[in-house]
């Protein structure tokens, strides 16, 4: 899959203003994982790291969404895009792992002949002071469940409060694009209860699928303040960026659709 329009991200030196959460540093978190026969040492290590992250979140008091976070980490490791972008999960998480310092790693083969990896790590958790703001929401219309090769993506967007929009596309083949803002459509504050149609400039969001049907996820990040996206455009970088913004300052809206290749 590719886009006819090439987009560039905007660069800034800060993420958001003000101290919106508390950093909690947890030392010597111990965790381990047991791999399956077809899993690589790198995959097993990531499973152990994910288990350590979950333990750190629990110790920091981030417990209400721990099941959702566990599901998120599992799918993140497998590069799955299905329900990992469930809006409720992204909107409700009230704490995130900000840093992991790996202190030790031990590999061994257990009595079943499977690889075990045991780790010890220092982990920093950012616990937000407030949760999701239910009064901050958006209305989106026009996204279809499927498109054909060459179709144009358009949608209407209406925030119920003043908002800034960041729009992204993630594909099942792990391609990622910042859809808006871009070189041709500038960033601006959108008025409450006013409808905006995208694209706004004389350009097309043209979708292509060359070889097979490909699932896509449109991710709309609505923000109360002007927080630019200043990272590479990738699935993990996007999630890391989203999770650094306090839940009451953002609203995530997501849509899944398929793009079908041209008929021979």
Q: What is the rounded CA–CA span in Å between residue 3 and residue 207?
A: 6
pLDDT digits (tens, 9 = 90+) for 127-136: 888 788 989 9
pLDDT digits (tens, 9 = 90+) for 5-16: 322 222 222 344
Q: What is the rounded CA–CA span in Å between residue 258 and residue 172?
A: 10
pLDDT digits (tens, 9 = 90+) for 118-166: 999 999 988 888 788 989 999 999 999 999 999 999 999 999 999 999 9
Structure tokens at 139: 């209305």
Q: Are 2 and 204 in contact (CB under 8 A)?
A: no
pLDDT value at 97 more than 60: yes
pLDDT digits (tens, 9 = 90+) for 64-89: 666 666 666 665 555 444 444 455 56
Identify the CATH number of the domain defined by range 138-260.
2.60.40.2550
Burial of 135 (0-12, 13-18, 19+ CB in 10 A): exposed
Is pLDDT larger for residue 122 or for residue 21?
A: 122
Instruction: Express as a percent the part of the chain with pLDDT over 70.
Output: 81
Q: What is the rounded CA–CA span in Å between residue 96 and residue 107?
A: 27
Q: What is the rounded CA–CA span in Å between residue 83 and residue 98?
A: 23
Please, which contacts does 178-184 make with residues 24 or more away whose CB atoms are closer than 8 Å?
178/7, 178/8, 178/9, 178/229, 178/233, 179/7, 179/205, 179/218, 181/10, 182/5, 182/7, 182/8, 183/7, 183/8, 184/5
Q: Residue 94: pLDDT band by 50, 70, 90 thresholds?
A: confident
Domains of the chain: which residue ranges?
21-128, 138-260
Q: Are 163 and 224 in contact (CB under 8 A)?
A: yes
pLDDT value at 25 more than 70: yes
pLDDT value at 253 more than 80: yes
Q: Share the mean pLDDT of the chain.
A: 83
pLDDT of residue 89: 60
Q: What is the pTM of this model?
A: 0.74
pLDDT of residue 71: 62
Query: What is the mean pLDDT of the segment spanning 234-263?
Result: 87
């Amino acid at each position: 899959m590719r886009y006819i329009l090439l987009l560039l991200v905007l660069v800034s030196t800060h993420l958001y203003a003000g101290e919106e959460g508390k950093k909690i540093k947890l030392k010597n978190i111990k965790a381990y994982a047991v791999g399956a026969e077809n899993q690589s040492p790198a995959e097993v290590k990531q499973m152990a790291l994910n288990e350590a992250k979950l333990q750190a979140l629990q110790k920091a008091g981030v417990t209400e969404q721990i099941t959702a976070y566990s599901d998120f980490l599992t799918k993140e490791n497998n590069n799955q895009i299905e329900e990992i972008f469930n809006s409720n999960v992204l909107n409700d998480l009230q704490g995130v792992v900000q840093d992991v310092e790996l202190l030790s790693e031990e590999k061994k083969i257990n009595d079943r002949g499977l690889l075990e990896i045991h780790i010890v790590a220092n982990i920093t958790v950012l616990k937000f002071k407030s949760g999701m703001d239910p009064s901050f929401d958006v209305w989106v219309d026009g996204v279809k469940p499927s498109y054909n090769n060459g179709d144009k993506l358009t949608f209407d967007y209406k925030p119920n409060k003043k908002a800034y929009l960041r729009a992204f596309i993630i594909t099942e083949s792990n391609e990622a694009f910042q859809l808006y803002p871009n070189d041709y459509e500038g960033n601006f504050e959108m008025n409450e209860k006013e409808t905006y149609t995208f694209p706004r400039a004389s350009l097309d969001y043209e979708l292509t699928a060359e070889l097979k049907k490909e699932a896509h996820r449109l991710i709309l990040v609505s923000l109360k303040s002007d927080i630019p996206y200043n990272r590479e455009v990738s699935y993990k970088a996007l999630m890391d960026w989203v999770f650094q913004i306090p839940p009451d300052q953002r609203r995530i809206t997501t849509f899944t659709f398929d793009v079908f290749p041209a008929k021979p």
